Amino acid sequence: MTYSWATSTHPGLVRDSNEDSVLPDSDGRDGGPVLVAVADGMGGHAAGEVASRLAIEAVANSEAPLEERIAQANQAVMEASERRPDQQGMGTTLTVGDFRPDGTLLVGHVGDSRLYLFRGENLLQVTRDHSLVAEYVASGALSPEEAATHPQRNVITRALGIDWEIDVDSHTVNLRIGDRVLVCSDGLTNMVADADIARILSEQPAAQAAGWALIEAANQAGGEDNITVAIVDVVE
């Protein structure tokens, strides 16, 4: 299969800096394996930006299996945090899609950045948020609508840089021609409802245009956080 992809990132309308990182950092098309990742960093003194960049670099520069790559990314963030007192406590989410030539998508995930599959007119969230409100929803304590506006919706329960041992969620998706995959930070999903994400993905046939349309929608809704999207189309 051949994949066409585009990545976009924007600081939003409130934050002074962008602590998100994305892989790859340019648009393209390829019939070989394609690795796509989004990391949303956290930590003071620009440490979040450092953590997300280190995680992306570790994943990009490794040839290990996907879960091991993410473990290596966690180690890179932990080691950097120990070396620099001003960066102690920094961390990052990391969601990775490994698109194989045979149409298999391998997914590795830590945190609340998301990977969606858009097939036909249906938007499926493949990853599960590692967040406090997601746990509340799963237990029935909150409805999805209540979770969307809950004051603790940004509290995550799993991230790189917190502990030397990291628990990685893994998924395998069998892709079809015409599928579209979206990987994004919560700067998009906290601002734009899934129904509107699906509508934009349906209205914009080009991956680059769809990515920037999603970012524009998040900014129109307030742009309260950094916004990063990666879109991969299965084109043949």
The pLDDT mean for the chain works out to: 93
Q: Give the CA radius of gyration of the chain.
A: 17
d(CA 84, CA 46): 12
Q: What is the pLDDT of residue 132?
A: 79
Has residue 185 got a pLDDT over 70? yes
How far from 72 is each of 79, 97, 98, 134, CA to CA, in Å?
A: 10, 16, 16, 26
Asked whether the CA dihedral 179, 180, 186, 189 is positive or negative, the reply is: negative
d(CA 144, CA 151): 14
- Strands laid side by side in the 180-184 sheet: 28-30, 3-10, 227-234, 180-184, 114-119, 122-125
pTM, two decimals, is 0.94
Has residue 45 got a pLDDT over 70? no
d(CA 214, CA 187): 10
Q: Tell me the per-residue pLDDT of 105-137, one tens digit each, with 9 for 90 and over.
A: 999 999 999 999 999 999 999 999 998 777 777
Has residue 138 got a pLDDT over 90? no
Provide the residue type at 71 as one letter: A
- Of the candidates 171, 236, 232, 235, the one whose C-alpha atom is nearest the C-alpha of residue 201 is 232
CA 11 to chain centre: 15
Ranges of each domain in the chain: 3-234
Q: Are the beta carbons of 54 and 77 closer than 8 angstroms?
A: yes
Has residue 151 got a pLDDT over 70? no
Name the CATH topology of 3-234. Phosphatase 2c; domain 1 (3.60.40)
Q: Tell me the per-residue pLDDT of 77-101, one tens digit each, with 9 for 90 and over.
A: 999 999 988 888 899 999 999 999 9
Q: What is the DSSP string of 103-168?
A: SEEEEEEESS-EEEEEETTEEEE-S---BHHHHHHHHTSS-HHHHHT-TTTT-BS--BTS-SS---
Has residue 197 got a pLDDT over 80? yes
> What is the average per-residue pLDDT within 175-182?
98
